[in-house]
Structure 1
């Protein structure tokens, strides 16, 4: 079985990559037609040549925080000139870890509205600004959570007919230690999970007792984990609920989505 066969079983529609973790040009080696590139600070943004070359092969969406210098539609937006016209954008408020104190203090709503008006095809990241994101329209780019299916179902029932995309950390193994090492810390940072954990918990494969029990459930709420077939079953449910595009982030590294790793996982089922 080829890597394309294995990843096809996951049902994923696209891949998300972090430029500090891999050469984003490797997205062209994956069996996806779309890559979303995360923002990890302006120094980590791939250069224009890299983006243009990748966009010649697959669809590329570049995440740009509307509060960050260089991407601020109400201030310094000079870095927009470095984005090739062949590359689309994902508009987000921006993770505080990648913003300066001044940038974090800027109002999101007017900037998101202005950026969306200037780029009607951009996706809109909803984390922490769900109502504002919905108000400005466009493809709603959400994080997978325990309430995703309920929330999307309600959105569709209310008459929303726009596209919904979903960002989901993905771990293609059912080994519990491997899953916790990959996404235990990520799940622990989600507010409902953090409130159920003790202070300063161990969140990787060393977790024990009640902490391990909470994390074991949480990683399955906030990430796609398991064999390609298991992941595929959940992705199918998400599609049936009304999610248009499921974007998988390879939480154990891009190698897990490449040929040798994917084939090994498929043959171990």
Structure 2
């Protein structure tokens, strides 16, 4: 569990960072047990020295898209092979936005299997490949949604005993405008929310009426938002449902997590 006052009160087990948005070395100021670094293209992969420094005090996991050149265990895996030995992996299919047409056409299942042969402790991102990810038996890295609690309970009831990590954008405030500023655009892209929103609705702090109500409700479904104590209640509920790790992405930036 995190030990800084604000983050500890929020009940988070790990922090996820987007290297295109922040200097990941700043996470050294957080006494966290686990740091997960999202993949936002090769240009934003942190330097080897930065990863080595972070991993001296935390369990560092780097997201690697198994279909992408440089990370492909059945082809060019030169970038993955160059990661520090102390750094773990989150294996994902890879977001199409970061893949070439050729990379998008590559089969996911055999590449996840091959990658797990050399990195058996890796987490596997479930986005768009849920059944394949489940078949690996590795730690499932799931994105928080309105169905997560139900799915967690169903998996545990069915006898699944593996680890399940849940990733969620996290906003440590109960100020509605700040919540919408941080995650309004993100939740508006979730398909059920997109369908429910009025045409041409504002999705940030200027959202009003029905659109504002929909977005704030969606923030409860797809993000962890509220005071640290509010967020702690949400993380406790996720663990009670069956999650083993709750990973928060600082949607406002790292500053509120350093208080």
Same fold (TM over 0.5): yes
CA distance in 1, matches of 2:65, 2:161: 25
State the partner residue of 1:220. Answer: 220
RMSD: 1.2
- Classify 1:200/1:120 alpha carbon distance in 2 versus 1 (closer, same or farther; 3 Å): farther
Question: What does 1:146-161 correspond to in 2, within 5 Å?
Answer: 146-161=146-161
Counterpart residue number, 2:85? 85
CA-to-aligned-CA distance 1:19-60 (integer Å, 9 cap, x gap): 111111111211311100000001100111111111112110
Distance 1:135 1:171 in 2: 33
**Which residue of structure 2 aligns with residue 99 of structure 1?**
99
| Structure 1 unaligned residues grouped into runs of 5+ | 263-269
Partner Cα distance (1:97, 1:228) in 2: 33
Q: Do residues 170 (structure 1) and 166 (structure 2) align?
A: no
Sort the Cα spacing of 1:83 and 1:200 in 2 relative to 1 into closer, same or farther, 3 A. farther
Q: What corresponds to 1:68 in structure 2?
A: 68
- Shift of the alpha carbon at 1:255? 1.1
| 2:203 is the alignment partner of 1:203 | yes
- Given the two structures, how large is their TM-score scaled by the length of structure 1? 0.92
Partner Cα distance (2:212, 2:238) in 1: 26
Given that residues 61 and 88 in structure 1 are in contact (C-alpha distance below 8 angstroms), is that contact kept between their aligned partners in structure 2?
yes
What is the match of residue 256 of structure 1?
256
How many angstroms does 1:61 deviate by? 0.3
| 1:124 alignment partner in structure 2 | 124
For structure 2, the residue ranges without an aligned partner over 5 or more in a row are none
Change over 3 Å in CA distance of 1:200–1:106 after alignment to 2: farther
Per the normalisation by structure 2, the TM-score is 0.96
How big is the shift at 1:199?
Answer: 3.9
The aligned counterpart of 1:143 is 143
Does the CA contact (< 8 Å) of 1:168 and 1:223 recur in 2?
Answer: yes
Other-structure match for 1:13: 13
Whole-angstrom CA distance in 1 between matches of 2:198 and 2:222: 19
Could you tell me how far apart the structure 1 residues matched to 2:118 and 2:193 are? 37
What CA distance in whole angstroms lies between the structure 2 residues aligned with 1:63 and 1:166? 15
2:110 paired residue number: 110
Residue 91 of structure 1 aligns to a residue whose secondary structure is strand
2:35 is aligned to 35
**Cα deviations by residue, 1:141-193 (Å, 9 ceiling, x for unpaired):** 00011111110010011111010101110001111111001001111111111
